[in-house]
Amino acid sequence: MEVRTGLAANRAEIIRALTARRIATAAAYGGGGITALGGLTFGLIVLEARLARRIIQATPSGDPPVADGLFGAGLPGQPLSFVMLGDSTAAGLGVFEPDETPGALLAAGLSAIAGRPVRLTNVAVSGSRTEALAEQLPDALAVEPDIAVIMIGANDVTARIPAAQSVRHLAGIVAGLSAVGCEVIVGTCPDLGSVEPLMQPLRWIAQRASRQLAAAQTIAVVEQGGRTVSLGDLLGREFAAAPLEMFSADRYHPSARGYAAAAAAMLPSMAAALSLEPDHEEVPEPRRGEGVLPVYLAAAEAAEEPGTEVAGTRVAGRERGPRGRWAMLLRRREVPEVAPDAI
Sign of CA dihedral 30, 36, 37, 43: negative
Strand partners, 330: 309
Residue 16 contacts residue 303 (beta carbons within 8 Å): yes
Q: Is 137 helix (H, G, I), strand (E, B) or coil?
A: helix
Q: Considering 248, 250, 255, 269, which one is annotated as catalytic?
A: 250
88 carries an active-site annotation: yes
Residue 165 contacts residue 36 (beta carbons within 8 Å): no
Cα 158 from chain centre: 16
Strand partners, 85: 150
169 carries an active-site annotation: no
Residue 163 carries which side chain, given as an amino acid letter?
Answer: A
Q: State the alpha helices, DSSP H only, in 143-162.
A: 154-158
Strand partners, 254: 247
For strands 80-86 and 118-122, give the pairing.
parallel
Helix, strand, coil percent content, the chain, rounded in steps of 5: 45, 15, 40
CA distance 338 to 73: 39
> For residue 23, what are the contacts with CB-CB under 8 A and spacing of at least 6?
33, 34, 163, 164, 167, 212, 213, 215, 216, 219
CA distance 14 to 5: 13
Angle formed at CA 23 by CA 310 and CA 28, multiple of 5 degrees:
85
- Helical (H) or strand (E) element with 209: helix 202-223
Cα 8 from chain centre: 25
Q: Considering 88, 194, 255, 269, which one is annotated as catalytic?
A: 88
250 carries an active-site annotation: yes
**Entry field: residues in the chain:** 343
CA distance 37 to 147: 32
Task: Return the active site residues.
Answer: 88, 250, 253
